[in-house]
Amino acid sequence: MIESTMPGKLFGVGLGPGDPELITLKALRTIRQAHVVAYPTAKHGQSNARCIVNLELTREQIEMPMIYPITTESTGHPGGYEAIIAQFYDQMAEQIAAHLLEGRDVAVLCEGDPFFYGSFMYLHDRLAHRFSTSVIPGIPSVMAAAARLGTPLVRRDSELTILPATLSEDALTARLNPHDAFAIIKLGRNFTKAKNALSRAKVSDKALYIERATMSQERIVPLSEVNSPSVPYFSLILVPDSRQSQHSDIVNSPGQVAVVGLGPGSAEWITPEAQQALAEATDLVGYQRYLDRVPLRSGQRRFGSDNKVEAERARHALSLAESGRRVCVVSSGDPGIFAMASAVLESVDQGPEVWRSLDIRIVPGVSAMQAVAARIGAPLGHDFCVLSLSDRLKPWEVIVKRLHAVASADFALAIYNPISSERKWQLAEAQAILAGYRGPETPVVLARAVGRSDEKIMITDLGRFDPGLADMQTLILVGSSTTRSLALSDHREMIYTPRTYGV
């Protein structure tokens, strides 16, 4: 009777960034106890992974160099680079499997972490379903680089994005922004491309370069002084979070005002740029109802006010910024549509000269009319106009004149501020003006609290439209003469305005 041999165990062992003292105790114990130690290596030169653990290997252990068939050179393989590499991992997996079937434990060495762009993951894909497999994490090069560069990567709720430099320059540029933290890895021959992307994204001044972090050949050089042809594969660029520490000197920093649009109601409609501006702010200023939609953050001051004091609110925000604060003026929807952007800029125009030197930016948001239109189709799919019925800041006679102009020009129309406790009759008069130019079958949409739990949308027409159903939080869309209703098979009604007109 032949005794069966229990299969060995497979270990993916993370060695960390290069310094032998940064290997975990568990990784060392696993390497010392393994019967077979496998490690990647190039055709020419020694294995970096083996060098890290050179003093830990014993003569009794079987060493298995995994020699890459190709690294940076070209290949004549009919399937190209991907095919020849896949074939290589297939062969290595079978060699490792042969040892495992003989009952030998195999430790596959992997620089950094095995599952963070590590080569072991390709062996894991081929073997983990066949053999008992354990993965031992290691310190990733990104974290080692941050430690060696002496820079925190992220603060509070900012995000860290890892980008391989093998992406196209356009893709790298699109993902970079001046606010979050980034690591660009796998530089080597891709360095110039990555450097160009950093410049295009206007973050080069924050970028930090390091090669072979924690290794004996470690080198830290200003990005502008890096010689492109000599950049090794084991190098990376860090772009730390640009936020200041909570203990930084705010008073001496340039004052900032960001007028931020929160969108119409749903948290999913707040843009990443708006979220970043809110997170970086030292002070929030806005209508209290809108401030309540922004999550509380430790150390951040809030100044809520009534809905009818836009000018005072704007001046307060500018005064705070003048003292060096980073201020967010919060608006619903888009701040440039009947909201706080105009109020802030008007205050700057009429205020002291020092306000013109502040860092002022407008952060767009999804407007209410866009959200409503998307809910019911595409009623604004052709030329349209946007009008507020509020006569608090402009005479009613001007509103009437504009209603006639919009209706006679056959625009689709988005109506903001249709009615309030002080204005009960204007919406009915607007309906009558529009009815003088449009047929009674013209689609009309009434939408309230879009994106919130109490959302309510009603589709009617100009002939049956009841102004009494609207309030200050209602947005109304009135179609043009070409706007149509479309019944879908699931019984939903969609409204759209064709892209062609009079054809």
pLDDT of the residue at 111: 95
Closest by Cα among 69, 73, 103 to 86: 69
Which DSSP string corresponds to 341-397? HHHHHHHHHHS-GGGGGSEEEEE----HHHHHHHHHEETTSSSEEEEE---SSS-HH
Residue whose token pair is 């200003």: 222
pLDDT of the residue at 392: 84
Q: What is the pLDDT of residues 292-303, one digit of tens each?
A: 999 888 778 999
CB 248: neighbour CB atoms within 10 A?
10
Would you mind telling me the total number of residues written for the chain in this entry? 503
pLDDT of the residue at 74: 55
The continuous run of DSSP H or E covering 62 comes out as strand 62-67
The beta-strand segments (E) located in 242-289 are 256-261, 283-287
Q: What is the pLDDT of residues 362-372, one digit of tens each?
A: 999 999 999 99
pLDDT of the residue at 308: 77
The structure tokens listed for 23 are 């290997």
Q: Tell me whether strands 412-416 and 106-110 are parallel, antiparallel or unpaired.
A: unpaired
| pLDDT for residue 178 is more than 80 | no
How many Å apart are CA 437 and CA 446, to the nearest integer? 20
pLDDT of the residue at 343: 94
pLDDT of the residue at 106: 97
| pLDDT for residue 114 is more than 90 | yes
pLDDT of the residue at 243: 59
Please compute the mean of the pLDDT values over residues 348-366 and round it to a whole number.
93
Q: Dihedral (C-alpha) 426, 430, 435, 439: value to the nearest 10 degrees?
A: -120
142-239, CATH topology level: 3.30.950
Helix ranges (H only) for 53-114 are 80-101
Q: What angle do CA 189, 191, 194 make, to 5 degrees?
A: 130
The CATH class for the domain spanning 10-139 reads alpha beta
| 112 burial level (CB within 10 Å; 0-12, 13-18, 19+) | buried
Sheet bearing 219-221, strands edge to edge: 160-164, 181-185, 235-239, 208-211, 219-221
The continuous run of DSSP H or E covering 304 comes out as strand 301-305
The residues near 273 (Cβ < 8 Å, ≥ 6 apart) are 177, 179, 363, 364
How many Å apart are CA 263 and CA 261, to the nearest integer? 6
Evaluate whether 352 touches 321 at the Cβ level (below 8 Å). no
How many Å apart are CA 353 and CA 315, to the nearest integer? 13
Evaluate whether 95 touches 65 at the Cβ level (below 8 Å). no
| pLDDT for residue 120 is more than 80 | yes
How many Å apart are CA 314 and CA 340, to the nearest integer? 7
Query: To the nearest 5 percent, what fractions of the chain are helix, strand and coil?
Result: 35, 25, 45
pLDDT of the residue at 75: 57
Evaluate whether 320 touches 285 at the Cβ level (below 8 Å). yes
Report the CATH architecture of 256-363: 3-Layer(aba) Sandwich (3.40)
CATH superfamily of 369-496: Tetrapyrrole methylase, C-terminal domain (3.30.950.10)
Evaluate whether 470 touches 449 at the Cβ level (below 8 Å). no
pLDDT of the residue at 196: 95
Buried b / exposed e along 331-349 (16+ C-beta atoms within 10 A): bbbbbbbbbbbbbbbebbe
CATH 3.30.950.10 residue ranges of the chain are 142-239, 369-496
Q: What is the pLDDT of residues 206-249, one digit of tens each?
A: 899 999 999 989 999 898 889 888 899 889 999 998 655 444 44
Q: What is the pLDDT of residues 422-469, one digit of tens each?
A: 777 889 999 999 999 999 999 999 999 888 888 899 999 999 988 888
CATH 3.40.1010.10 residue ranges of the chain are 10-139, 256-363
Q: What is the pLDDT of residues 377-413, one digit of tens each?
A: 999 999 999 999 988 888 999 999 999 999 999 999 9
Which DSSP string corresponds to 450-501? TTSTT-EEEEEETTT--GGG--TTEEEEE--TT-EEEE-TTS-EEEE--S--
pLDDT of the residue at 445: 94
Cα→Cα distances 28→34, 38, 212, 248, 325, Å: 10, 14, 21, 42, 51
